[in-house]
Amino acid sequence: MPIILPPDEYEERVETVSTPTGNVKPQRWYDWYLGVPNWKCVECGTTMFGRCKYCVFCKFRLRKTTLRPADYNEGGPYEG
From 41, 39, 17, 46, select the one nearest 30 (Cα to Cα): 17
From 21, 31, 47, 35, select the one nearest 74 (Cα to Cα): 35
Range ranked top by mean pLDDT from 42-46, 69-73, 75-79: 42-46
- Average pLDDT on 25-51 reads 81
Angle made by CA atoms 71, 72, 76, in degrees to the nearest 5? 125
Integer-rounded Cα radius of gyration of the chain: 16
What confidence tier does 78 reach under pLDDT thresholds 50, 70, 90? Answer: very low
Query: Residue 58: its pLDDT value, please?
Result: 92
> 13-31 pLDDT, tens per residue?
666 555 555 555 677 777 7
3-state DSSP of 20-48: CCCCCCCHHHHHHHHCCCCEECCCCCCEE
Indicate the burial class of 32 (C-beta count within 10 angstroms; 0-12, 13-18, 19 or more): middle
